[in-house]
Structure 1
Amino acid sequence: MNDETTRMLPRLIPPVVVWLVTTALLVVAPSLDSADASIAGPALGSGGWWVALLVLTAQAATLLERRSRPLAVLLAVASASVLLALGGAGDSTSLAAAAVLVAVWSAVSSVELPRQARALAAALAGAGLLVAVGTGLSQTSIDLPLSTAVLGGLVQGAGVIVLPALLAATVRARRDAREARTDLALAVDREQSAQIAAAIAEERTAMARELHDIAAHHLTGIAVMTGAVERQIDTDPAGAKESVRQVRTQSTAMLRELRGLVTLLRSPGQAEDASGQERLSQLASLVEEARRAGLEVELSTPGTGAAVESVGPLAQLSAYRTVQECLANAARHAPGARCVVVLDTQDPAEVVVTVRNGPSATPVPSGGRSARRGLGLVGMQERADLTDSILEAGPTAEGGWQTRLRITA
């Protein structure tokens, strides 16, 4: 059985079943007429019987289009009641109700709501009226009183239309609710996927920023010291040995910080844990390392330092990295310039960290200043935003560069 046949089966089964049932009842009806005088219908093989068979067959065939044109099909199959009554089908007119039930179910289940709600209501009312008229005509044709025929027609029309319509509406409402829950679950899954993707992207950005800060600081120092070793190795062996020791110190420090970064990334939720992480109290060690690497730098700490203790560990790490990046930039873009690091804690509500360097003592390549606006400055701004700090960076009047970070204590 191919796919096309599989798709056709649900469409064919209801019309075929309706035709088989109504035809079988039409064949059996004459024998019931002879057994019960109250039942009146066309004799088997009579003209009225063949008209009834033709109308019921056409009615079942019309049901094949119930999915593509449900409202038109509903009115068409309902009109079969009138045709059967006019053709002399008598009580066999009620056989048209089987196809009407299928058409009502299809119409209520498949029309677009609420856009076609009025059209559906009109079609249901029209179909009910047609069934009522057909039933009333069939009953008057067998000499029933007019009032009885009208009442019977209204009852038949309401029963054939209202009850299946309510049942189909209930089933459709449950189906729509189930689809809505499925769509909601899919939307939640998509939202969660988007949040996970955003978190991954943010984590990658944080990792890149950390790696840049660590590598830029230590590798800049290593580059400066290896350059000194090259010049000292023949003229000042002792100084060369000291430079080599500093290279080893810087390399060890970089490995230690990289290991700490990897540990932090492997342990979500530990960003606030300050154990093993750099703090503002370690700026003196950072400045000393930069001084041993050949940078002319000094540290000034006006204030008592009490405000530092009220600064969170994440903000302290951000400030430490900012100073580290500034010193690396000074060594790279302003070689030989004098640097000053100021940790101002005079205001108990604010800690201000300032790094200022003078102009370069040697000519700087034309691309050097544009590099200042690369990843380093972007990373510092992101860190400041993360900790609700204020970052100010720009050239000084003397031709140097100043970076100031204001942290709320």
Structure 2
Amino acid sequence: MNEQAQHGFRPSPIEGIIAVISGGLALTVLFLLPLLEEADTGIPGGTFPAGGENFWVVAVVLVCQSAALLWAKSAPRTVLTLVVLLPVVLAVFVPGPAFSLSTIAIFCAVFLSAGRLPLPRVAPLLVLAVLIIAGAQAFNDFRTGLPATAAVTSAVGQALVVVGAPLLFALVLSARREARLSRTHEIQALAREQQARIEAAVSKERTAMSRELHDIAAHHMSGIALMTAAIQQQIDTDPEEAKRSAQQVRSQSTAVLEDLRRIVGLLREHPEGTRSVETIAGIPGLVEERRRTGMDVDLLQSAARPDRELAAGIGPLAQLVVYRMVQESLSNAAAHSPGARCVVDVDDSDPSQLIAVVHHGHAAAGQVGEGAAAGAGVGGGFGLLGLRERAELIGAALDHGPNAEGGWSVRLVVPREVARHPIDADETPQEMP
């Protein structure tokens, strides 16, 4: 496929501007040439009078050269060849000072061709152009009376300048263009990488939000479900107790709304009235809240010393994971083993780790759990799956499964920052009322 078929004859604005400038400059000098010669030689009209036959031959050649530049984008090699060969007509048929005007279009053709094509593709043609220009220039100068040696020397120098200067200029511009293009690609790649990181962060935050919403909803809604079931039985036999249970349902519903507002507040730029993150110190309150819903639950805590702060050396994120594990386990027990006795055991006596265990027995007689198997979590294990991912995030170990009482146990082992919070090995177990 030749250049014309490949690119089509579609002159671009840049080629059009260069062609007009080249032709206009060459023709302007051509029309001034007789006046310059007349001033130099004193001969009216000089040796190259305007309007003569030779004058119009040169003008036609210059116009053809400039017109050919219009297609330098579509067929750069063809245009360069044509622009270089046309001055040979002047050297053969109209030798004289006007020959040098043809180098203006050659200069432009070399620049456009070298800027459009890779150097290896255009280099052979440029070498051939140097030879043709040097030969034609030497022949022209020799016919005008210049000695052969001087004609050849001058022609070779002129050919090298006419081809070398625009070639160097084009290579510099091409290198800068490639550098800009490379930089653009690099910026685009960085932008794509940044976008991928943002999408990954958004996905991670969505997962964290879904876990948080699940923990909140499962915790409160399981309590509401238990209390509404109790209200159904109490409304005829003990209306006063049913009223108190209804108040508990209202309290649980209000707590759900408050927690949901807190989650929404975290998404705002300036959250109002946000609560602090839950910690291990909040577990007694969590257990007491469950007791108010009618759940049979005990809390055991073991510490190295009575005067030592609970969960020393356990970071805030790890404490939140422990809190969520207890919350999720109690919610599962209420949903899947209603009426079963639950025990929350927080062992803080080990110098290297904290162990939190929640276990419950079989559902009370006449009570049937809902949903998946006991302890599997709401939604077929989504709760425990989220807890396991959180445990891995802080380097903790989570185990769960059936226990000897026919119920379910969940055990979380959280490593402690021993270097900053050394503790004694003495153990002081106590049961919280």
Q: TM-score range by the shorter chain?
A: 0.7 to 0.9
CA positional deviation for 1:187:
4.8
Corresponding residue for residue 7 of structure 2: none
Corresponding residue for residue 81 of structure 2: 75
Compared CA separation, residues 82 and 403, structure 1 to 2 (3 A): farther
More helix by share: 1
TM-score when normalising by structure 1: 0.82
CA positional deviation for 1:37:
5.4
TM-score when normalising by structure 2: 0.78
Corresponding residue for residue 20 of structure 1: 24
Q: Map 1:133-148 onto structure 2 (within 5 A).
A: 133-148=135-150
Partner SS, residue 355 of structure 1: strand
Amino acid at match of 1:205: T
Distance in 2 between the 1:100 and 1:165 partners? 11
Corresponding residue for residue 72 of structure 2: 66
Compared CA separation, residues 126 and 358, structure 1 to 2 (3 A): farther
CA positional deviation for 1:214:
1.0
Compared CA separation, residues 365 and 293, structure 1 to 2 (3 A): closer
CA positional deviation for 1:366:
6.9
Q: Map 1:5-404 onto structure 2 (within 5 A).
A: 9-30=13-34, 32-33=36-37, 35-36=39-40, 48-111=54-117, 116-266=118-268, 276-304=276-304, 308-361=311-364, 362-364=367-369, 371=378, 373-396=380-403, 400-404=407-411
Identify which range, 62-71 or 386-395, moves more after superposition. 386-395
Partner SS, residue 309 of structure 1: coil
Q: Would the aligned equivalents of 1:41 and 1:89 in 2 still touch at CA under 8 Å?
A: no
CA positional deviation for 1:161:
2.0
CA positional deviation for 1:147:
1.7
Distance in 2 between the 1:182 and 1:210 partners? 41
The percentage of counterpart residues that share the same residue type is 41
Q: Would the aligned equivalents of 2:95 and 2:143 in 1 still touch at CA under 8 Å?
A: no
Distance in 2 between the 1:255 and 1:370 partners? 22
Amino acid at match of 1:57: V
Distance in 2 between the 1:341 and 1:253 partners? 22
CA positional deviation for 1:22:
2.3
* RMSD of aligned residue pairs (Cα, Å): 3.5
Partner SS, residue 338 of structure 2: coil
Partner SS, residue 276 of structure 1: coil
Structure 2: state its 5+ residue gaps: 1-10, 417-433
Distance in 2 between the 1:257 and 1:312 partners? 22
Corresponding residue pairs, total: 396
Amino acid at match of 1:89: P
Identify which range, 121-130 or 132-141, moves more after superposition. 121-130
Q: Would the aligned equivalents of 1:345 and 1:352 in 2 still touch at CA under 8 Å?
A: yes
Q: Would the aligned equivalents of 2:377 and 2:383 in 1 still touch at CA under 8 Å?
A: no
Corresponding residue for residue 4 of structure 1: none
Deviation string 1:305-325 (CA, Å, 9 cap, x unpaired) is 757111111211121012101
Amino acid at match of 1:15: A
Structure 1: state its 5+ residue gaps: 1-6
Q: Would the aligned equivalents of 1:279 and 1:313 in 2 still touch at CA under 8 Å?
A: yes
Compared CA separation, residues 222 and 118, structure 1 to 2 (3 A): same
Identify which range, 73-82 or 190-199, moves more after superposition. 190-199
Q: Would the aligned equivalents of 1:29 and 1:41 in 2 still touch at CA under 8 Å?
A: no
